[in-house]
């Protein structure tokens, strides 16, 4: 599970066998959620509070380019 970054205890990552479209998994404690990055939206939520979802969405919006770049670099290496 490649981790892109950790902010305020939220771990932003994807799975090494993930699929397109580009999306991000976020965990904190026992809560997990999955978000699309274009547009930024929650796809699945298991235990995150609405305030946490809103905070995570804003963090994703501020870092969309970094997330997409990390995803593309990782999976392009895997396909070589």
* Predicted confidence (pLDDT) per residue in 23-78, tens digit: 999 999 999 999 999 999 999 999 999 999 999 999 999 999 999 999 999 888 75
| pLDDT value for 55 | 98
- Residues contacting residue 57 through CB under 8 Å, at least 6 positions apart: 35, 40, 41, 42
| pLDDT value for 79 | 53
* Predicted confidence (pLDDT) per residue in 10-26, tens digit: 999 999 888 889 999 99
How many C-beta neighbours within 10 Å does residue 35 have? 22
| pLDDT value for 78 | 59
pTM: 0.91
């Amino acid at each position: 599970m490649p981790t892109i970054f950790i902010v305020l205890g939220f771990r932003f990552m994807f799975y090494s066998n993930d699929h397109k479209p580009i999306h991000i998994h976020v965990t904190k404690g026992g809560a997990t959620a999955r978000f699309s990055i274009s547009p930024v939206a929650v796809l699945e939520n298991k235990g995150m509070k609405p305030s946490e979802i809103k905070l995570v969405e804003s963090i994703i919006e501020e870092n969309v380019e970094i997330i997409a770049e990390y995803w593309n670099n990782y999976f392009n290496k895997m396909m070589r």
